[in-house]
């Protein structure tokens, strides 16, 4: 039996499901990931990994676990975020107790991205159990706050943590390697009015009414950037929320005219377009309104106020990684070795590439990084059950394990 065959033989579907189910059982909404970090720390420590609990904010931890190489070889990071999306309505079963139906593993958070985290863990375990002679380090980074713009990954990169290349197991599909994705920026627009009692309305300026002009104009905005063919639907702007009232605390007093109204704006933008370009185009729209309305007063605040839940404090820039990077080539070959087929697609994987990922921070730090992970989804349009596809998880795990063998091993490529 070759090293590769030994490594792949250590991958168990039942164990993969068990690992993912244990992750699902621990709620880990953004800002509340520390219980998950403690679980991952214990799991990795018990198996002999070198483990660090990394404190991103006071009391908020993420985990970096490493299978140490003997030195001199290339290093690889498997990466995934522990924060999960908000719990949707309509669940008919306990969302924190995973269950299997056919080829689907259900449970909240498994779709983004605890199914991918389980692949990372099982792949690393296969490498460890097979006693693959690593010369370079295999690092597992379980980071926080990806849905906030990459709080944990940004922190890790600022600390100077580096590997030669990286894979993030976001759910792009086992036959796809995503090398392109958009950027994301959040900001707030405030419209300032003049308050007064309803009985003296003639001397007031209604901030909420003024904001309607902003909403209408932004819905028709044309950005000045050049088209990016790989992301044809972008750039795209969305107003995610609106709130108004008296003063910046939005005091609700119905007899009084509101003098403060805020919208929170999300723009997904393309390579070649900068945040300054985005803000400049939005400001041009607002200045156009102001030119026709002397009572229109606005402010742009980036990032949005800390009181806005769900805001992204950080900007994630777009990524377009060259397809000839070694990590792309190794994953492609590993996929063929595992499945006997060619990888289906390398580049932008639509519509998922219309969003951003932590590859943004890795690539900015000079680490070639791609997204490669198992397909996931929701049971119905009502989102009554999130799931990961088990066969996809198995394929991704095998590909990752084989890729780690080839990247972190000395010179001679490993084949099945």
Q: Is 308 within the bounds of a domain?
A: no
Question: What pLDDT was estimated at residue 378?
Answer: 78
Question: What pLDDT was estimated at residue 195?
Answer: 94
Q: Which of 126, 184, 173 is nearest to 315 (CA)?
A: 184
Please check the confidence at residue 381 and state whether its pLDDT lies above 90. no
68 and 177 inside one domain: yes
How much of the chain exceeds pLDDT 70, in percent? 97
38 and 138 inside one domain: yes
Residue range 333-347, pLDDT digits in tens: 999 999 999 999 999
Structural domain count, the chain: 2
187 and 277 inside one domain: yes
Greatest CA separation for the chain: 87
What is the arithmetic mean of pLDDT over 40-59? 97
Q: Coil, helix or strand for 5?
A: helix
**13-22, 246-255, 276-285: which range is least confident on average?**
246-255
Residue range 60-86, pLDDT digits in tens: 999 999 999 988 889 999 999 999 998
Q: How far apart are CA 203 and CA 214, in angstroms?
A: 22
Task: Give the pLDDT band of residue 45 (cuts 50, 70, 90).
Answer: very high
281: part of which helix (H) or strand (E)? Answer: helix 275-292
β-bridge pairing 165-168 and 76-81: parallel
Residue with tokens 């509340």: 32
Q: What is the CATH number of the domain that holds 353?
A: 3.40.630.10
- Domain termination residue (choose one: 271, 301, 331): 301
Task: Give the pLDDT band of residue 416 (cuts 50, 70, 90).
Answer: very low
State which residues form the domain around 36.
Answer: 3-181+318-408
364 and 274 inside one domain: no
Tell me, yes or no, if the pTM score tops 0.75: yes
**161-170, 247-256, 300-309, 383-392: which range is least confident on average?**
383-392
């Amino acid at each position: 039996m070759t090293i590769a065959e030994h490594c792949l033989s250590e991958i168990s579907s039942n164990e993969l499901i068990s690992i993912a189910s244990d992750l699902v059982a621990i709620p880990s909404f953004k800002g509340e990931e520390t219980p998950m970090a403690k679980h991952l720390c214990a799991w990795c420590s018990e198996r002999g990994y070198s483990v660090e609990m990394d404190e991103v904010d006071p009391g908020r931890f993420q985990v970096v676990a490493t299978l140490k190489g003997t030195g001199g070889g290339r290093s690889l990071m498997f990466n995934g975020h522990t924060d999960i999306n908000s719990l949707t309505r309509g669940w008919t079963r306990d969302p924190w107790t995973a269950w299997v139906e056919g080829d689907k593993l259900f449970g909240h958070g498994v779709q983004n991205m605890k199914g991918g985290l389980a692949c990372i863990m099982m792949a690393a375990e296969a490498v460890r159990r097979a006693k693959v002679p690593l010369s370079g380090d295999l690092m597992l980074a379980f980071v926080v706050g990806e849905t906030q713009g990459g709080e944990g990954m940004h922190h890790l990169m600022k600390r100077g943590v580096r590997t030669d290349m990286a894979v993030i197991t976001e759910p792009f599909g086992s036959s796809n390697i995503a090398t392109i994705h958009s950027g994301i920026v959040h900001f707030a627009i405030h419209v300032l009015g003049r308050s007064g009692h309803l009985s003296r309305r003639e001397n007031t300026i209604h901030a909420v009414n003024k904001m309607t002009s902003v909403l209408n104009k932004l819905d028709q905005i044309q950005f000045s950037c050049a088209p990016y063919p790989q992301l044809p639907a972008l750039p795209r702007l969305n107003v995610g929320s609106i709130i108004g009232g008296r003063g910046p605390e939005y005091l609700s007093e119905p007899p009084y005219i509101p003098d403060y109204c805020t919208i929170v704006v999300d723009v997904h933008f393309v390579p070649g377009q900068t945040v300054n370009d985005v803000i400049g185009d939005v400001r041009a729209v607002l200045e156009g309104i102001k030119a026709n309305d002397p009572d229109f007063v606005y402010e742009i605040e980036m990032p949005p106020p800390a009181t806005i839940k769900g805001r992204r404090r950080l900007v994630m820039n777009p990524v377009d990684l060259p397809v000839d990077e070694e990590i792309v080539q190794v994953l492609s070959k590993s996929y063929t070795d595992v499945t006997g087929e060619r990888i289906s697609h390398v580049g932008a994987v639509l519509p998922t590439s219309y969003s951003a990922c932590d590859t943004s921070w890795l690539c900015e730090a000079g680490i070639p990084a791609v997204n490669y992970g198992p397909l996931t989804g929701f049971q119905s349009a009502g989102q009554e059950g999130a799931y990961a596809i088990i066969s996809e998880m198995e394929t991704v795990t095998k590909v990752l394990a084989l890729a780690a063998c080839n990247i972190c091993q000395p010179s001679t490529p490993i084949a099945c």
